[in-house]
Amino acid sequence: MASSLRLLFPLFLSCIVLLNHQVKCDEVDEEDNLLQGINSYRASANLTALTKNDNAECLADEIADQFKKQPCTNTTGSFTVPGTETQFANFPDLLAKCHLNVSNTRDGVIMPSCIPNLDPSLVLTNFTKSQYSSNLNQTNFTGIGIGSEDNWIVVILTTSTPEGSYVPAQSTDSATGSASLGSKSKISLIQYLLCLLMGFVFHL
């Protein structure tokens, strides 16, 4: 029995890792495609391209994770004043996870959107052909963070001002590192649990 488990476990582990990797790749592809689409949209209006903001991406991931349990009615409005929004009682905690606070996010804007199965043909138009288009056409926004979970995708626009930069008071390197860790915490936990399971099976 133990011998059979040892033979089957590597196959089982590979399947889990590959499946998890595929899901993450699909999400990244969808987010990258949306970023390219938004920048093309801005280019057509003679606006500068938005650059990736790691801290904003961290918060977008956290907010998308909160939204994923809500039905896809596509009626959710934007967070116009981050930190004062009451939709999520734990919003300050979400900011803290990405080492952010109201003072460095107040000039930004958070735009959640729900698209069934994140249909690629609808994701971009849900931002460029909706109430969000006015934000995408503003010159004061210079950065962007995108996160997605299930049917929800969240876009955060940042500015170059301290109040909307999404950069904490600490050094840029440490802030970026913290944000990256926040967005990857789920993957790290899965890897840790898999390692524990592997050790248990091989000791049988």
Digit-coded pLDDT (tens) for 133-154: 999 999 999 999 999 999 899 9
pLDDT given for residue 177 in this prediction: 41
State yes or no: pLDDT of 78 exceeds 60. no
Tokens of 45: 């209006």
In this prediction, residue 166 carries a pLDDT of 95
Please give, one letter per residue, the 3-state secondary structure of 74-108: CCCCCECCCCCCCCCCCHHHHHHHCCCCHHHCCCC
> pTM score, two decimals?
0.68
User: Torsion angle, CA of 72/78/81/85, rounded to 10 degrees?
Assistant: -20
Number of structural domains the chain divides into = 1
In this structure, what CATH number is given to the domain that contains residue 138?
3.40.33.10
Q: What number of H helices and E strands is found in the chain?
A: 7, 4
What is the extent of the structural domain holding 150? 2-201
